Amino acid sequence: MAKVRHLARAPIQEAILDFEFSGPGLSQVQIDSISSRYVKSGSKTKKIEMPVVAPPPLAVGGIDVPGGKWNYISLEEHVGLPPSAGRSVLISQNQVAVSSVRSYPGWDEFEVLAERAFSSYVELAENPRVTRLSARFINRIAPDPTYADYSSILERPPQSLPGEGLEGSKITDFLRRHVVDGLRGNFTANLTVGTATPEPLEITKNTKAILIDIDVFKMCDLAADFVSLRSELATMREIKNALFFGSLKEHVVERYI
């Protein structure tokens, strides 16, 4: 098991902080006014219409958007980011979410991005209460031809099945999911670990890339005050770090220091 520490080059492919609220939520006019603020500060906004029943997740970010209202995504532009990278803010009738794709700025800056969106919502909403908190981090461990197999990467690698006729078999792809209850702060975590499609120029001689998808969440009834929520956010961060570092061998983590 790897030691928990700061990683200068954390392999975070996508990070999401998500807040859901009770109450009547925001009207279309209020959502428009928040969108206008982001436009004035240099962001681009995209207006999307979602169905009332069974809304699909967004193509990027996997954020579930409640249906029934128009929703806005404010696309934050950052100079120097590759075309596949970006940071976005979603503000809808009863939800605020921030997402960073291939451009994770570090926890402190990411929290600032979340606080701005959260405060914009709370300023206009009528008596909102936070009913769900979620932090999702999708990490991608690139393949390394020096690793003999998945046991060289993971603390709990996939195991070949015993049985007649299976001698010498090898697992080349896998996907497993753990639901972890009883965590501090009454949080639950979904830990999903599996192989990922190789990217261009990746050498996959012995192993493929590994995705470690960590989603820490809880249902709650909390005051819509970001300062008072910082301790909850800190707990989610500690849990996701424990699950991430606990999944990997020490020498794998050293690649990202």
The domain ranges of the chain are: 1-15+136-219+226-257, 24-126
What pLDDT sits at residue 46? 67
What pLDDT sits at residue 212? 97
Measuring CA to CA, how many Å separate 87 from each of 108, 198, 241? 15, 23, 21
Range with the lowest mean pLDDT among 8-22, 60-74, 181-195? 60-74
What pLDDT sits at residue 41? 79
* Cβ neighbours of residue 175 closer than 8 Å, sequence gap 6 or more: 192, 193, 194, 195
Asked if pLDDT for residue 144 goes beyond 80, the answer is yes
Which DSSP string do the residues of the chain spell out, in sequence order? -PPP---TT--EEEEEEEEEEESS---HHHHHHHHHHHHHTT-EEEEEE--SSSPPBPTTT-PBPPSSSEEEEEEE--TT--TT-EEEEEEETTEEEEEEES----HHHHHHHHHHHHHHHHHHSSS-EEEEEEEEEEEEE---TT--SGGGTBSS---PPP-TT-TT------EEEEEE-S-GGG-EEEEEEEEEPPPTT---SS--EEEEEEEEEEEEEEES-HHHHHHHHHHHHHHHHHHHHHHB-HHHHGGG-
Q: What percent of the chain has pLDDT over 70?
A: 84
Mean pLDDT comparison of 65-74, 206-215, 237-246, highest-scoring range:
237-246
What pLDDT sits at residue 10? 96
Asked if pLDDT for residue 70 goes beyond 60, the answer is no
36 touches 120 (CB < 8 A): no
154 touches 248 (CB < 8 A): yes
Nearest to 229 by CA among 111, 65, 148: 111
Asked if pLDDT for residue 128 goes beyond 90, the answer is yes
In whole angstroms, what is the distance from residue 87 CA to residue 89 CA? Answer: 7
133 touches 220 (CB < 8 A): yes
What pLDDT sits at residue 66? 43
What pLDDT sits at residue 52? 40
Q: What percent of the chain has pLDDT over 90?
A: 57
Tens digits of per-residue pLDDT, 91-125? 888 999 998 988 899 999 999 999 999 999 999 99
Tens digits of per-residue pLDDT, 193-239? 999 987 887 877 878 899 999 999 999 999 999 999 999 999 999 99
Asked if pLDDT for residue 142 goes beyond 70, the answer is yes
What pLDDT sits at residue 56? 37
Q: Average pLDDT of the chain?
A: 85
Phi and psi torsions of 242, nearest 5°: -60, -40
Residue 54: pLDDT band with limits 50, 70, 90:
very low
Rounded to 10 deg, the angle between the 28-40 and 107-124 helix axes is: 140
Asked if pLDDT for residue 77 goes beyond 80, the answer is no
Residue 64: pLDDT band with limits 50, 70, 90:
very low
What pLDDT sits at residue 217? 97
What pLDDT sits at residue 49? 57
Other CB atoms within 10 Å distance of the CB of residue 46: 11
